[in-house]
Amino acid sequence: MDFDFSEDQEQLRDAVRKWVDKGYDFDRRRAIVNAGGFDRGAYTELAELGLAGLYVSEAHGGLGMGPVEAMVVMEELGRGIVLEPLAQTLISSAVLQTHAPADLQSAWLPRIAGGEAIVVLAHQERGARHHLGRCKTEAKEAGGQWTVSGTKSIVPVGDQADAFIVPALAGGQMALFLVERGAAGVKTEGYLTQDGARAAEVSLANSPAQLITKNGQTALEQAADIGSACVCAEGVGVMDKTLAITAEYMNTRKQFGVPIATFQALRHRIADMKMQLELARSMSYYASLKLKAPEAERRQAMARARYQLGTSMRFVGQSAVQLHGGIGVTDEYIVSHYFKKLTQLEMTFGDTLHHLGEVSNRMQDTAGVFA
């Protein structure tokens, strides 16, 4: 099996890495956090690189690329702990392109690809505990027009996005709808998340909506799996940079007149961090490659990958803080922000224990030995 990246994929990686290094340094990120956790200008710069149209077909003005290219991009954005929600753009464009009627695709995909519109997934509800099938939001149809009522939580850039993809029950069956933020009955309350990004509570009261698909459960599971693959790739990038920062610190910080990198116990700990990173990297590859697999196989693969990524992210983040000592939790020092990002990612689209349960549920027939 060939795990080498193509020349185009390497060029894509190089372009994103250069943007992160030159255009999104730590000072700019801190300024964005202080200003509210989202910068439309930075998002526009990502769109100008073509990244907003990564999953959008060329017919709608995008690049028409696939999961491996998305993985490459998300790794590099992870290294810079970029706040702008490109993963949400990948999710929304894939869902619309796969499930939405032609008129809805034509209205939104070109705008998404050009960075003119940000569409995010608004699926989480209080009490759902990461279970995608638990939904209290309701949709009603009257005279061919749909309205949606309910409340969604922790919606990425929910008070800044142009529209939401909203799961709602229509006649007792889950469907997906597109609701514009400016529509009647839509209220948002924005706030910072623990990693400095922006999210919001979104309330819908008989808000006008456009039907994406009545097969909402299947579409939502696809959206969550794309999100999980993005979390895996972004997590690898965050861990890679965290490890590099920690190694540099250990080579410069001295105790008893020598760098602490010479202490055997600390060397063993950073070696363990490296092993967790490489385990996570291999499972991130696995997740991205399985995104186009049949539904049952894809869902199983995502749960496996997310369990390993969650384990690795927690170990690498906590170990980095411990190896740095007190400075590792100060806001002025960069590694604390990488730790916060890893902690936040570990809980995105289901935490580690949730995915362990998913793995267990899918291996009961064979005990996982033959599947």
What pLDDT score does 257 carry? 86
What pLDDT score does 370 carry? 52
What pLDDT score does 262 carry? 82
Contacts of 248 (CB under 8 A, 6+ apart): none
Taking the C-alpha atoms of residue 158 and residue 188, their distance in angstroms, rounded to an integer, is 7
| Beta carbons of 170 and 316 less than 8 angstroms apart | no
CA angle 271, 277, 283 (to 5 degrees): 140
Q: Please choose, from the candidates 64, 92, 218, the residue with its C-alpha nearest in 3D space to the C-alpha of residue 162.
A: 92
What pLDDT score does 368 carry? 53
Per-residue pLDDT of the chain (371 residues; tens, 9 = 90+): 566 898 999 999 999 999 999 999 999 999 999 999 999 999 999 999 999 999 999 999 999 999 999 999 999 999 999 999 999 999 999 999 999 999 999 999 999 999 999 999 999 999 888 899 899 999 999 988 999 999 999 999 999 999 999 999 999 899 999 999 999 999 999 999 999 999 999 999 999 999 999 999 999 999 999 999 999 999 999 999 999 999 998 888 888 888 888 889 999 999 999 999 999 999 999 999 999 999 999 999 999 999 999 999 999 999 999 999 989 899 889 999 999 999 999 999 999 999 998 888 887 666 555 55
Contacts of 137 (CB under 8 A, 6+ apart): 125, 148, 149, 150, 151, 152, 166, 167, 168, 169, 204
pTM of the complete model: 0.94
**Contacts made by residues 51-54, CB under 8 angstroms, sequence distance 24+:** 51/16, 51/86, 51/89, 52/86, 52/89, 52/93, 52/112, 52/113, 52/114, 52/115, 53/93, 53/112, 53/113, 53/114, 54/89, 54/90, 54/93
Rg of the Cα atoms in the chain:
21
Quote the distance between the C-alpha of residue 211 and its chain's center.
24
Taking the C-alpha atoms of residue 158 and residue 204, their distance in angstroms, rounded to an integer, is 12
What pLDDT score does 92 carry? 97
What pLDDT score does 324 carry? 93
Contacts of 9 (CB under 8 A, 6+ apart): 68, 69, 72
Give me the domains of the chain, ranges plus CATH numbers. 7-113 (1.10.540.10), 119-214 (2.40.110.10), 219-361 (1.20.140.10)
Contacts of 218 (CB under 8 A, 6+ apart): 295
Quote the distance between the C-alpha of residue 115 and its chain's center.
18
What sign does the dihedral 357-359-363-367 (CA atoms) show?
negative
50 backbone dihedrals φ, ψ, rounded to 5°: 90, 0
